Chains A and B, each alone.
Chain A
């Protein structure tokens, strides 16, 4: 189990990236949702021991990772949002190298694992090519492979599906799901759909604070009966925004679909705008949380 309690982090330029984060995370997939600049990567880097928190605790399997970072590193697989590689080193050699750094020093075990992961990430046929010459998607797959080295018990993946095509994305999701049965997997993303499909638990992080936390089901229940939908014209949109609690809008068949949050039927003096109650989804939860955060 991973327990993050009251974690704070302020950068030297004064930006308060984390403001008292509390997160208990058990085995399985855990989604971390938030907009750009919310502090997701900061939280990920802090848990991955790449930066020190100003205060707070990180306990992993009853060991204090703040005072003893090695306690977490031994079990960690980390895929950062962006990363580089050594030039002119083949995928198999670099993976081999990283496996050694992770303590897989037995050559036979290491080879087995490296080959397996290359297959799993569909990189086996490119294993002898320089990672620095990989396309963006291939490099991302390599990153996933290295994160899975040495049987990690805690996997942190930060925006992992960036650069992956839909099929690769699916494959990655399947892989993570399999692994998460015995492992804590923290998936940090701003793609709501990924969380929705994979994570039995999630937290929404905005401006360095956890705004909502729990299972999708329990969180969505809070929005039950409060989400309304209507199709509007572009001209009416501004009026709607002024008079209603609009949480999002998007284009549907050339018209704009508004989604509004209201305890009651949204009253509007526009006869052509007809609201219907809809079942709230994770996107609604996400946008409404952002909106609430902005209003507060």
Chain B
């Protein structure tokens, strides 16, 4: 009976707390948003078992925070409310005491997550119902409840026991909050190496993965392991089974929960905190009364001063008192140690796992900064700021000393500014620690330490964090209590720093406090890609922060809390002169900077919110699809003048297309599509009238005065300007900064005809915009039948000539042979022209580079790289040379007179590591120039990748590939083959075997995680098939048939489909391969290309 009463009391006590309502509502709304924003992925139903379980697991990540909020009340309330003596003085037993608290904590947490799950279910049910989304409600409910019981409940039990121990040890709520952050952070850091799809990191550390199979608190790792090989059908309609590693995992977690509970019970003593904890603290013992010292009262006449110096001294005293309390606290020490651990782990993992097969990295500044600069450091510091801001702001109230402090003559300004200064120090401290660790790491690796770059972190990382600190200060100023202040801080942070804001429709960075364009450091271009945009945003946020600080100061409560409404009335009735002026100035500045950012983002950078972008695409299709089947002119020649203005981040491009009618019809109408992110100054066509110009959609329709007959020529002229400002994240194909510019111009030049790439592909989006579903994609065979095997119209090669100019301090180049270079009006000019047609992927480069060149069989090859990245250049040049030699000998003569390899900045928005344009290879700095080639135990991916990209000069540029299923296979699989033969030549067969083993693992992993049905290699465009399975297939075929046979087939393929000859399909290659190889191997060719072997190892050995 007693136990029941105690439990009932616990329930009543907790459920009446404001924190309970806040947490429950928060979880419910989060669940609602999660559910509503689930999208069907290919054939995976958002309401299916797999998706629902995954969503519950996402929600479960919040468990540490939820428990921390409730645990403070459950565990520390007696000490906080100073009621311990009353409680411990009763006859309550230890078991009853602990059990009732444990019950309250767990019951509340479970109820909260139950309501979160209800939110998910409601959110899912609010989604538009489509035939693909129509899972019976009870099934969805069943999936959610099962996931809650199996995954969330054991985690709650374990974590509640853990928090009990922490709470009883420290008796401080802040320790619980900080511990919850550390737990969350630690879990996210480690779990991201397990291949967990929720955290979507591609890197998998097998050791961590194996540990997590058994010790993952939430059971996510064994769950995803179980469903890895499941079909779409299974994922949608089959529930997971509590067997194998999942069962073991859940049992282990429950056992740990019990063990921790027992430890907690054994170690807990029902004694007063002071008695049991502070035994070592020297208690001040009162001594015998001494003689009364009757000292003259004249010593008391020390008058206070009111000078500027004294105000400064007071500020300094307030600051040092609060700052040293913060720094010297055990919690801060633990947090710092934890950060050191996380940082060190990140650096160790990052520098020693830059790529598969043991590739390590030079510890360059960029390689080090990438491990934490834009994610770990800001997120971790933000979390800590939320908690420490509360501690700093409410310190006097917490210590109940505010009556003494606030009754002194210390000014409100001093009190406020001191707190502000302490808060600002917090991110600066974490950044300083990070810099120290980074510098030490670099020194240990023997690298130069770029102190100016590190110091700039105080700005690039620190400034947004300082703004957040000021925001939290403001929120606490207007809050009635510490809990309210923390709550507001958490909610606002969730909105501005997580996808919750997106779910609420907040997309523009202007509306997300302290948001800036992604700023990342590159060894090639430093911070320059986004620095201007970053500066603009920081001016804006600092102005907003100034507004908040003014308001926060005015609303700052000294002594008794005064309701905000009354404060505002007082403020309006009696505005302080300086406050009014400061507030006005900062408000005006905020407005000014906001307008400027808006202009830069919306007008100059042409930002479009997602909804607008989708509508744009829908409108394009609606209005211009009718022109889809119009016969088109083909571009044969492109002549341009490209002028770079790197300092202004601008280019001007004037161009001329020569067009020809390769169809058999008369052409009297021409639709031209242009990119609306650039400014088209002019587009004209002789003997034609512009009958439509849709500025919003960038479409031009020309009606020809005289129709163009088959074989007849025509032309268009155009001029384009583009200014880049970094306000929208820089694209792979569009970097224009001082010392480095790369423009892959196809996007910006006119496109002839209706552009399918500009239409909506998603079923849901098409339905939402009243567009008919897309026609079923024809299979390869159907397409071949439809076209009778003729893909000659898909050969897109042009004669290219350009004059490219740049500033006197930079060099420029493009495709083609250099005809002439000169200087004029302080600018450098270069005239390039191709001797043979190239694929229409013209590109331009400008910058300051170190260059390493060589001539190979009449071909000028060169590596262009940043000055401090020289270590790998020679190795890459050697790889290019080997490939050209091999390719020219075995495939076809290298098709041009030059080949350049360019180091490009790593771009967070693009996952590419290498990209091949005609005569120009782009290799990302991290994998190309940071990979440590002196590490002999690591695989030589630098060589491999350079060979791969070089080989694309044949496979993809020289070879014309039809735009059908399997196009990627033809391009990438043949490039993988080239890698294999060159690696074998250089390092031997055994060396290649390890690559093949790796590709096997990659293929199987891709197969298990892929959500759509696998197509056979000859029809596939999936990366894990065309790269990995393709490599395995070609290696097996090479071993069976011999390289000579395959090379023979490739020569013939190029002969029939290279140059300006008709485009090829994989069927063409397979047919040629069968033609040149003995019949006894044809079944192998079929197995690899036309079938999907269930066991790839068996295929390898079969003959």
Residue ranges of A at the interface with B (Cβ–Cβ < 8 Å): 12, 45, 48-52, 70, 73-74, 76, 78, 80, 82-88, 97-98, 100-106, 109-110, 112-113, 116, 119-120, 122, 125-126, 129-130, 133-135, 137-138, 143, 146, 148, 150-151, 167, 171, 174, 178-179
A-B contact pairs, 19 of them (CB 8 A): A45-B403, A49-B407, A50-B559, A52-B562, A70-B409, A73-B409, A74-B409, A76-B408, A78-B403, A80-B403, A86-B395, A98-B405, A100-B313, A102-B409, A105-B304, A105-B314, A116-B300, A151-B304, A178-B297
Contact bitstring B437-448, A, C-beta under 8 A = 1, else 0: 000000000000
Contact bitstring B534-561, A, C-beta under 8 A = 1, else 0: 0000000000000000000000001110
Q: Check: B406 CB closer than 8 A to any chain A CB.
A: yes
CB distance from B768 to the nearest CB of A (A): 50
Q: Check: B777 CB closer than 8 A to any chain A CB.
A: no
Query: Cα distance A109–B300 when bound, in Å?
Result: 10
Q: Check: B325 CB closer than 8 A to any chain A CB.
A: yes
On whether the beta carbons of B404 and A151 are closer than 8 Å, the reply is: no
Residues of B within 8 A of A88 (CB): 328
Q: Check: B647 CB closer than 8 A to any chain A CB.
A: no
Query: Cα distance A215–B160 when bound, in Å?
Result: 63
Query: Cα distance A237–B289 when bound, in Å?
Result: 44
Query: Cα distance A257–B290 when bound, in Å?
Result: 39
On whether the beta carbons of B408 and A73 are closer than 8 Å, the reply is: yes
Q: Check: B1079 CB closer than 8 A to any chain A CB.
A: no
Q: Check: B623 CB closer than 8 A to any chain A CB.
A: no
Q: Which of B296-316 contact A (CB under 8 A)?
A: 297, 299-306, 309-310, 313-314
A45 with B559: in contact, given A80-B404, A103-B314, A119-B295 (CB under 8 Å)? yes
CB distance from B274 to the nearest CB of A (A): 9
The interface stretch among B278-286, B928-936, B1062-1070 is: B278-286
Q: Check: B331 CB closer than 8 A to any chain A CB.
A: no
Residues of A within 8 A of B395 (CB): 86
Cross-chain contact of A50 among B302, B321, B407 (Cβ < 8 A): B407
Residues of A within 8 A of B401 (CB): 83-86
Residues of A within 8 A of B295 (CB): 116, 119-120
Contact bitstring B314-357, A, C-beta under 8 A = 1, else 0: 10011001000100100000000000000000000000000000
On whether the beta carbons of A171 and B310 are closer than 8 Å, the reply is: no
On whether the beta carbons of B290 and A70 are closer than 8 Å, the reply is: no
A101 with B317: in contact, given A78-B404, A116-B295, A146-B404 (CB under 8 Å)? yes
A103 with B304: in contact, given A80-B404, A84-B400 (CB under 8 Å)? yes
Contact bitstring B646-690, A, C-beta under 8 A = 1, else 0: 000000000000000000000000000000000000000000000
Given contacts A49-B559, A50-B407, A110-B302, 18 further A-B contacts (CB under 8 A): A12-B563, A49-B406, A51-B559, A51-B560, A78-B407, A84-B399, A103-B304, A103-B310, A104-B302, A105-B314, A112-B302, A133-B278, A133-B282, A133-B284, A134-B284, A171-B292, A179-B297, A179-B300
On whether the beta carbons of B399 and A116 are closer than 8 Å, the reply is: no
Residues of B within 8 A of A102 (CB): 304, 408-410
CB distance from A90 to the nearest CB of B (A): 10
Find the residue from A97, A105, A171, A178 having the highest chain B CB count within 10 A: A105
Query: Cα distance A48–B310 when bound, in Å?
Result: 22
Tell me the nearest residue of chain B to A51, going by C-beta: B560
Q: Check: B266 CB closer than 8 A to any chain A CB.
A: no
Residues of B within 8 A of A78 (CB): 403-404, 407
On whether the beta carbons of A137 and B286 are closer than 8 Å, the reply is: yes
A135 with B408: in contact, given A52-B562, A178-B297 (CB under 8 Å)? no
On whether the beta carbons of B317 and A103 are closer than 8 Å, the reply is: no
Tell me the nearest residue of chain A to B566, going by C-beta: A52
A50 with B406: in contact, given A104-B302, A119-B293 (CB under 8 Å)? yes
Q: Check: B411 CB closer than 8 A to any chain A CB.
A: yes
Q: Check: B287 CB closer than 8 A to any chain A CB.
A: yes
Query: Cα distance A147–B447 when bound, in Å?
Result: 59
Query: Cα distance A130–B280 when bound, in Å?
Result: 13
Query: 4 closest pairs, A vs B, by CB?
Result: A103-B304, A84-B400, A50-B559, A51-B560
Residues of B within 8 A of A133 (CB): 278, 281-284
Give the number of residues in B that approach A within 8 Å (Cβ atoms): 48
Tell me the nearest residue of chain B to A116, going by C-beta: B299
Find the residue from A48, A83, A112, A113 having the highest chain B CB count within 10 A: A83
Query: Cα distance A287–B573 when bound, in Å?
Result: 45
Query: Cα distance A168–B317 when bound, in Å?
Result: 31
Cross-chain contact of A52 among B290, B309, B408, B560 (Cβ < 8 A): B560
Query: Cα distance A21–B404 when bound, in Å?
Result: 24
Residues of A within 8 A of B286 (CB): 126, 135, 137-138
A105 with B313: in contact, given A70-B409, A78-B404, A83-B401 (CB under 8 Å)? yes
Find the residue from B286, B295, B408 having the highest chain A CB count within 10 A: B408
Find the residue from B282, B300, B306 having the highest chain A CB count within 10 A: B300
CB distance from A61 to the nearest CB of B (A): 14
Query: Cα distance A120–B325 when bound, in Å?
Result: 29
Residues of A within 8 A of B292 (CB): 171, 174
Residues of A within 8 A of B299 (CB): 112-113, 116
Query: Cα distance A74–B81 when bound, in Å?
Result: 33
Query: Cα distance A133–B317 when bound, in Å?
Result: 23
Residues of A within 8 A of B289 (CB): 122, 167
On whether the beta carbons of B400 and A83 are closer than 8 Å, the reply is: yes
Query: Cα distance A101–B317 when bound, in Å?
Result: 8
On whether the beta carbons of B300 and A76 are closer than 8 Å, the reply is: no
Residues of A within 8 A of B399 (CB): 84-87
Query: Cα distance A76–B408 when bound, in Å?
Result: 7
On whether the beta carbons of B304 and A74 are closer than 8 Å, the reply is: yes
A103 with B409: in contact, given A116-B295, A133-B283, A133-B284 (CB under 8 Å)? yes
A86 with B325: in contact, given A70-B411, A137-B286 (CB under 8 Å)? yes
Cross-chain contact of A101 among B278, B282, B302, B314 (Cβ < 8 A): B314
Query: Cα distance A104–B560 when bound, in Å?
Result: 26
On whether the beta carbons of A148 and B300 are closer than 8 Å, the reply is: yes
On whether the beta carbons of B325 and A100 are closer than 8 Å, the reply is: no
CB distance from A175 to the nearest CB of B (A): 9
Find the residue from B299, B306, B325 having the highest chain A CB count within 10 A: B299
CB distance from A159 to the nearest CB of B (A): 13
Query: Cα distance A78–B321 when bound, in Å?
Result: 21
A103 with B305: in contact, given A74-B409, A133-B281, A171-B292 (CB under 8 Å)? yes
Tell me the nearest residue of chain A to B299, going by C-beta: A116
Query: Cα distance A110–B301 when bound, in Å?
Result: 11
On whether the beta carbons of B284 and A135 are closer than 8 Å, the reply is: yes
CB distance from A199 to the nearest CB of B (A): 19
On whether the beta carbons of A151 and B281 are closer than 8 Å, the reply is: no
Contact bitstring B388-429, A, C-beta under 8 A = 1, else 0: 000000010001110111111111000000000000000000
Residues of A within 8 A of B303 (CB): 150-151
Query: Cα distance A106–B314 when bound, in Å?
Result: 11
Query: Cα distance A105–B292 when bound, in Å?
Result: 29
Query: Cα distance A110–B309 when bound, in Å?
Result: 15
Query: Cα distance A45–B403 when bound, in Å?
Result: 9
On whether the beta carbons of A74 and B306 are closer than 8 Å, the reply is: yes
A98 with B404: in contact, given A86-B399, A120-B293, A122-B289 (CB under 8 Å)? yes
Query: Cα distance A100–B319 when bound, in Å?
Result: 12
On whether the beta carbons of B302 and A113 are closer than 8 Å, the reply is: yes
CB distance from A141 to the nearest CB of B (A): 10
On whether the beta carbons of B304 and A104 are closer than 8 Å, the reply is: yes
Residues of B within 8 A of A100 (CB): 313-314, 317
Residues of A within 8 A of B321 (CB): 86, 97
Residues of B within 8 A of A49 (CB): 406-407, 559
CB distance from A68 to the nearest CB of B (A): 11
Contact bitstring B246-284, A, C-beta under 8 A = 1, else 0: 000000000000000000000000000000001001111
